[in-house]
């Protein structure tokens, strides 16, 4: 059979609704807070110990029911297994390369480092507060930004009172750092 008509197994694993996952810049470290590390580790263990075995059991049961080409439980189960396995591989790689950094060591400091919660004001007198976290733990809806985001890269190593230039799609804006906070105890 002509190779052009044969779907390779690796292709099948990569095509099923693959979501674009955040990528680390080449050579960058994968900084993560202790809380973020624990959350990813718990997700990985949950997938390995709970969810995957249940899906395997369902697929095994469905495979015994006859024609697999029209068996929804079997087809969905196989697809879900590929998704779970892909997520397990992703989490394993991220946890292996994680560099856990506790922001509490900077408590009381007025300079911006990883893990800081920073309040700044822009040219339009609009104050915003963001927390700088790892790319796998940042959540924009909770005002958390990745340490590689433009705002975080602008804020890092600045101090309270510094006026900085932030490059935005609308052009360069000036922002002023008003406050820098860190947790006062470890996340443990």
Check residue 69 and give its pLDDT.
75
Check residue 15 and give its pLDDT.
42
Q: In CATH terms, are 9-14+28-100 and 103-181 the same topology?
A: no
Check residue 63 and give its pLDDT.
86
CATH topology (fold) of 9-14+28-100: Helix Hairpins (1.10.287)
CATH topology (fold) of 103-181: Chitinase A; domain 3 (3.10.50)
| Closest C-alpha among 81, 108, 103 to residue 36 | 103
Whether the CB-CB separation of 43 and 51 falls below 8 Å is answered with: no
- In the 8-state DSSP scheme, what is residue 23? -
Check residue 122 and give its pLDDT.
92
Percent of the chain with pLDDT over 90: 65
Distance (Å, rounded) from C-alpha 132 to C-alpha 183?
A: 12
Residue 8 confidence class, pLDDT cut points 50, 70, 90: very low
Please state the domain extents for the chain.
9-14+28-100, 103-181
DSSP three-state, residue 85: helix
């Amino acid at each position: 059979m002509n190779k052009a008509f044969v779907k390779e197994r690796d292709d099948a694993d990569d095509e099923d609704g693959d979501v674009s996952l955040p990528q680390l810049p080449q050579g960058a470290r994968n900084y993560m807070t202790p809380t973020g590390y624990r959350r990813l580790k718990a997700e990985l263990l949950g997938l390995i110990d709970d969810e995957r075995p249940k899906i395997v059991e369902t697929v095994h049961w469905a495979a015994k029911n006859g024609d697999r080409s029209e068996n929804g439980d079997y087809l969905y189960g196989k697809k879900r297994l590929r998704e779970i396995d892909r997520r397990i591989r992703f989490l394993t790689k991220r946890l292996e390369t994680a560099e856990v950094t506790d922001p509490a060591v900077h408590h009381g400091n007025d300079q911006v480092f990883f893990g800081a919660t920073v309040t700044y004001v822009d040219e339009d007198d609009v104050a915003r507060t963001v927390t700088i976290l790892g790319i796998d733990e940042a959540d924009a809806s909770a005002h958390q930004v990745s340490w590689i985001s433009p705002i975080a890269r602008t804020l890092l190593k600045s101090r309270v009172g510094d006026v900085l230039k932030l490059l935005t799609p609308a052009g360069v804006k000036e922002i002023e750092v008003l406050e820098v906070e860190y947790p006062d105890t470890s996340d443990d």
